[in-house]
């Protein structure tokens, strides 16, 4: 019996291929939804959209400080594991849900599998880095998506027998979910966009949007991209980002600001973009897999593979730098080799667990 823990929408997306693989191989599992970002009620349509079963347990953790949220999820997961002890608990990524579930399972002496293990940005100021490092060091199965991630785990002295190179389930998810999205309507066509003839933007990190001066410079950079290339710049605005724009009195200018779209619709927009500008780790991966150039407005990244293959560049927030980096990445073209695997990561993970007994 496997307990699969989910807390945020990126976790749901990346765990979906494992859930589907368990279904195909008739492996017993149950789902724990922490509700770290949303209540389960708000996520119901997301599970439906991805054609996934509903979670068996809903913790409704909600937002709060890191300590409060982690503690609440930890207590909730502990209660579930005591009531329904699994053979192993699977966690994915670097959220508070991941850390809380892994800690709860470790205290109860349950085996832990960490999907997407070994990622490092080497900046301990970031809570995500703490979460992923601690989880790796208390896990029994470390499912590393790339050889770089494997190297990081080895460098930290983790037992070689625990480390498994599997590829990244995001590749599986993109292939599967693009196929699902074909059953819906074409969001780019609805917005009047032509394939390869628009820029796609997403920003939400506090370091980019909480300061008015920084956010203003970022928006200047996006407007400069619009002017430089004479193409639409589409910005599905995260609620947090929209709130900050209103609070700071900034204007989108020439940017085509739209309400957030569903995951499958956003995947369509990614696949059709000329270039993506973001501060999201997951979108760096998705753009790389889809063959779309990416500019990441951050000081560092835990996805260095995207930089190494030439699919991504880092930029500071200055207007001139954003334009320069966008020109640079577009001049490279998109002939890189996807470093995240061939779309069989979920099968690899489930097979490793099945063969381990």
Asked if residue 174 belongs to a domain, the reply is no
Q: Are residues 16 and 163 in the same domain?
A: yes
Task: Report the domain count for the chain.
Answer: 2
Is the predicted pLDDT of residue 155 greater than 70, yes or no? yes
Mean pLDDT of the chain: 93
Whether 9 and 148 map to the same domain: the answer is: yes
Q: What is the pLDDT of residue 39?
A: 60
Residue 40: which pLDDT band, with cuts at 50, 70 and 90? low
Domain extent, residue 72, equals: 2-168+341-355
Are 268 and 317 found together in one domain? yes
Of 37, 56, 164, 204, the active-site residue reads 204
Active site residue 204: yes
Fill in the DSSP letter of residue 84. Answer: S
Judgement on whether residues 32 and 139 belong to the same structural domain of the protein: yes
- 210 and 139 in a common domain: no
Q: Is 118 inside any structural domain?
A: yes
Whether residue 303 contacts residue 120, with contact meaning beta carbons closer than 8 Å, is answered with no
Higher pLDDT, 355 or 110: 110
Confirm whether 143 is domain-assigned. yes
DSSP secondary structure of 85-110? --SEEEEESSSHHHHHHHHHHHHTT-
Both 79 and 29 in one domain: the answer is yes
Instruction: Tell me the per-residue pLDDT of 67-96, one tens digit each, with 9 for 90 and over.
Output: 999 999 999 999 999 999 999 999 999 999
Does 13 fall in a domain? yes
* Shared domain check, 205 and 101: no
More confident residue, 243 or 325: 325
| 116: CATH | 3.40.50.2000
Comparing C-alpha atoms, which of 21, 38, 37 is closest to residue 29? 21
Instruction: Indicate if the pLDDT at residue 43 is higher than 80.
Output: no
Q: Are residues 218 and 291 in the same domain?
A: yes
Please give the DSSP secondary-structure letter assigned to residue 352. H
Answer yes or no: is 175 within a domain: no
């Amino acid at each position: 019996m496997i307990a699969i823990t989910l807390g945020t929408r990126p976790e749901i997306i990346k765990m979906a291929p494992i859930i589907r693989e368990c279904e195909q191989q008739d492996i017993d599992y149950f789902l724990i939804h922490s509700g770290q970002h949303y209540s389960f009620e708000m996520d119901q349509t997301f599970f439906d959209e991805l054609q996934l079963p509903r979670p068996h347990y809903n913790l409704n953790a909600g937002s709060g400080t890191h300590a409060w949220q982690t503690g609440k999820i930890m207590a909730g997961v502990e209660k579930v594991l005591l009531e329904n002890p699994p053979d192993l608990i699977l966690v994915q990524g670097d959220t508070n849900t991941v850390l809380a579930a892994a800690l709860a399972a470790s205290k109860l002496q349950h085996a832990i599998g960490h999907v997407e293990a070994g990622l490092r940005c080497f900046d301990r100021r970031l809570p995500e880095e703490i979460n992923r490092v601690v989880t790796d060091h208390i896990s029994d199965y470390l499912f590393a998506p790339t050889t770089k991630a494997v190297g990081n785990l080895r460098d930290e002295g983790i037992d070689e027998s625990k480390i498994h190179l599997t590829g990244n389930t995001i590749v599986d998810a993109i292939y599967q979910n693009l196929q699902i999205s074909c059953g819906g309507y074409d969001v780019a066509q609805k917005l009047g966009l032509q394939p390869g003839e628009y820029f796609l933007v997403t920003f939400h990190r506090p370091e980019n949007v909480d300061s008015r001066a920084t956010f203003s410079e970022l928006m200047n950079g996006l407007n400069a991209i619009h002017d430089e290339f004479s193409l639409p710049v589409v910005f599905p605005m995260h609620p947090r980002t929209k709130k900050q724009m209103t609070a700071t009195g900034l204007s989108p200018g020439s940017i085509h600001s739209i309400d957030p779209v569903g995951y499958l619709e956003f995947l369509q927009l990614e696949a059709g973009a000329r270039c993506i500008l973001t501060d999201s780790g997951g979108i760096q991966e998705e753009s790389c897999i889809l063959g779309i150039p990416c500019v990441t407005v951050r000081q560092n990244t835990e996805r260095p593979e995207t930089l190494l293959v030439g699919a991504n560049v880092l930029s500071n927030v200055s207007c001139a730098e954003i334009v320069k980096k966008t020109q640079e990445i577009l001049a490279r073209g998109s002939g890189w080799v996807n470093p995240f695997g061939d779309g069989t990561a979920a099968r690899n993970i489930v097979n490793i667990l099945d063969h381990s007994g």
